[in-house]
């Protein structure tokens, strides 16, 4: 990353230096022109003044060549005196006889007309670039010329001064630029580094951004992008593991179903073949075998019926008929239908207390009576199955305020004096096919689907299920129901929730 920061710094500083150098060249160009213009103008004024003074001394200069040369040296220039017809009468650099007629020289033309004449050109007589200034004189025109080389030397001195001054003025600008370029390159370096981390999938990384300038805003936006990517990634991971879990549940379910179906089917097949092989003629065994076949067929039937019930609830096919029912009526209905079975084991099946409203009226729940009957039957069937002879089963109910729905709910529970369930089995008890003691449960005709049906049915009513149990102290299974409609038709359509709980 330092190499990257260095490259950005170099680019920025080069760009700024290029701009500064361009400015310097432009300043030099303009300054050279202005300095030359100003210097030439001043020189012209100075030379024309000198010319006017020299013109007064023209006669002596014409008469004495030495005097002429002395004056020219004092005036620091070349003096020429031209007659009105253009004939050069005197010149300090060339013999007048060798010189052309000067009547067409621009500065002479002007001077002969009575004005001050100027020109810049290469002298044909001496081959030097001159600045010429001519004024009218008694003989015609007096001309003073200085070499342009002199002018250029002076202009270069001025340019030199100007360039030095501008260069010095640029030093703080360059220092400031270097400081700014360092700051920008560092920030850009950090941002590029962060973008690279995002590209590599490190969405937890964050940029340490400060300031509300453009780079600060860019940093904040990148951080927001990082946060969103992290959230999306986590969501995808969650969904992925959820899918994997569902896939495991599906595979387990298929294995469980196949296994559960295979056992009674194998039994039916075995005893049928035995009967066909001749046992049908054996009056001692044939009835016994047929009873076993019948029991296994019944077991297959109830297994398939339970599986269908579960699937229907999960797929939302089950059409519940919701209405208000007295809790007491529901409890009594179930008690009556299971008392004969409980009686076979001398188990007392009693309803404890009468569930009443606060005003004394009978308590009502909003539910499908048949579904609640099935839930209660499953719980009571278990209680009877797993409670030894002479035990007791209590049906209880209580009302409480639901913290989420903000209406009263009723909790119905089945308490038994059975063997109880070990703590480690409690969390998985409502899973499909989960049985504490597989062999014993199968012996009692159980498939392990009863509690899963209880849970799904309670959920379809907007309720919950639970169990409290300890080995040797019996068990208490409970489920809850709303006292009023809480939009159960909609809860019914919440298939994802029900399907998600398919594993339990």
Ligand X SMILES: Nc1ncnc2c1ncn2[C@@H]1O[C@H](COP(=O)(O)OP(=O)(O)OP(=O)(O)O)[C@@H](O)[C@H]1O
Site residues, ligand X (CB under 6 A): 306, 378, 382-383, 386, 416, 418-419, 421, 429, 434-437, 441, 446-451, 475
Write down the least CB distance from residue 436 to ligand X, Å: 3
Write down the least CB distance from residue 230 to ligand X, Å: 41
Residue 441 site contact among Mg ion, ligand X, none (CB < 5 to 8 Å, cut-off depends on kind): ligand X
> Which among 448, 439, 452 has a CA at the least distance from the CA of 502?
452
Name the token pair of 433. 């096919």
Beta bridge partners, 481, equal: 410
- The residue of the chain with the least Cβ separation from ligand X equals 450
Which DSSP letter does residue 406 get? -
Which DSSP letter does residue 374 get? H
Q: Measured between alpha carbons, how far is 48 from 132 in angstroms, rounded to an integer?
A: 10
Contact 322, 488 (CB under 8 A): yes
Residue whose CB is less far from ligand X, 41 or 370? 370
Q: Binding pattern to Mg ion, positions 437-466, x when CB under 5 A?
A: -------------x----------------
Beta bridge partners, 78, equal: 145
Per CB under 5 A, contacts with Mg ion among 338-397 are: 382
Write down the least CB distance from residue 307 to ligand X, Å: 10
The verdict on 190 binding Mg ion (CB under 5 A) reads no
Residue 449 site contact among ligand X, Mg ion, none (CB < 5 to 8 Å, cut-off depends on kind): ligand X
CB atoms within 10 A of CB 484: 12
Residue 437 site contact among ligand X, Mg ion, none (CB < 5 to 8 Å, cut-off depends on kind): ligand X
Name the token pair of 68. 């002429």
Write down the least CB distance from residue 399 to ligand X, Å: 24
Q: Measured between alpha carbons, how far is 250 from 238 in angstroms, rounded to an integer?
A: 18
Residue 410 site contact among ligand X, Mg ion, none (CB < 5 to 8 Å, cut-off depends on kind): none
Residue whose CB is less far from ligand X, 284 or 439? 439
Residue 386 site contact among ligand X, Mg ion, none (CB < 5 to 8 Å, cut-off depends on kind): ligand X
Write down the least CB distance from residue 353 to Mg ion, Å: 25
Write down the least CB distance from residue 497 to Mg ion, Å: 24
Where in 137-279 does DSSP place strands (E)? 140-147
Residue 421 site contact among ligand X, Mg ion, none (CB < 5 to 8 Å, cut-off depends on kind): ligand X
Q: Residue 206: CB partners within 8 Å, gap ≥ 6?
A: 223, 226
Beta bridge partners, 131, equal: 120, 146
Residue 54 site contact among Mg ion, ligand X, none (CB < 5 to 8 Å, cut-off depends on kind): none
Chain centroid, CA 81 distance in Å: 90
Backbone torsions φ then ψ of 422, nearest 5 degrees: -60, 145
Question: Where on the chain is the footprint of Mg ion (CB under 5 A)?
Answer: 382, 450
């Amino acid at each position: 990353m330092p190499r990257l920061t260095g490259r950005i710094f170099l680019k920025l500083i080069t760009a700024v230096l290029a701009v500064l150098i361009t400015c310097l060249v432009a300043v030099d160009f303009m300054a050279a022109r202005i300095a030359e213009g100003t210097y030439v103008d001043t020189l012209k004024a100075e030379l024309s003044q000198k010319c006017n003074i020299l013109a007064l001394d023209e006669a002596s200069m014409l008469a004495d060549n030495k005097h002429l040369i002395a004056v020219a040296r004092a005036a620091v220039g070349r003096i020429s005196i031209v007659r009105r017809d253009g004939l050069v009468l005197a010149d300090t650099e060339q013999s007048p006889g060798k010189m052309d007629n000067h009547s067409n020289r621009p500065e002479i033309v002007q001077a002969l007309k009575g004005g001050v004449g100027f020109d810049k050109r290469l002298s044909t007589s001496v081959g030097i670039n001159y600045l010429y200034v001519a004024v009218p004189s008694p003989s015609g025109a007096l001309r003073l010329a200085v070499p342009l080389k002199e002018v250029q030397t002076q202009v270069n001195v001025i340019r030199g001064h100007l360039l030095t001054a501008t260069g010095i003025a640029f030093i703080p600008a360059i220092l400031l630029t270097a400081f700014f370029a360092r700051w920008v390159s560092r920030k850009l370096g950090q941002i590029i580094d962060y973008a690279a981390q995002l590209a590599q999938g490190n969405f937890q990384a964050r940029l340490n951004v400060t300031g509300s300038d453009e780079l600060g805003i860019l940093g904040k936006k990148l951080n927001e992008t990082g946060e969103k990517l992290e959230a999306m990634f986590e969501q995808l991971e969650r969904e992925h593991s959820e899918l994997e879990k569902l896939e495991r549940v599906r595979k387990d379910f298929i294995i469980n179903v196949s296994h559960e179906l295979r056992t009674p089917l194998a039994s039916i097949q075995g005893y049928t073949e035995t009967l066909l092989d001749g046992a049908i003629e054996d009056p001692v065994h044939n009835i016994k075998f047929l009873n076993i076949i019948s029991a296994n067929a019944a077991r297959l039937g109830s297994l398939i019926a339970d599986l269908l019930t579960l699937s229907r609830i999960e797929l939302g096919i089950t059409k519940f008929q919701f209405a208000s029912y007295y809790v007491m009526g529901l409890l009594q209905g179930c008690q009556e239908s299971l008392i004969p079975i409980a009686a076979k084991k001398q188990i007392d099946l009693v309803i404890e207390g009468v569930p009443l409203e606060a005003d004394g009226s009978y308590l009502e729940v909003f539910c499908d009576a048949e579904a609640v009957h099935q839930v209660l039957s499953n719980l009571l069937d278990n209680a009877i199955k797993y409670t030894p002879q002479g035990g007791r089963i209590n049906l209880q109910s209580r009302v409480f305020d639901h913290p989420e729905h903000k209406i009263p709910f009723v909790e119905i529970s089945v308490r038994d004096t059975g063997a109880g369930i070990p703590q480690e089995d409690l969390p998985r008890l409502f899973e499909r096919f989960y049985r504490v003691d597989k062999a014993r449960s199968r012996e009692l005709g159980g498939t392990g689907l009863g509690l899963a049906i209880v849970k799904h049915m309670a959920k379809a009513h907007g309720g919950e299920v639970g169990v409290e149990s300890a080995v040797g102290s019996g068990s208490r299974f409970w489920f809850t129901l709303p006292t009023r409609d809480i939009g159960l038709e909609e809860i019914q359509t919440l298939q994802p929730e029900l399907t998600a709980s398919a594993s339990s």
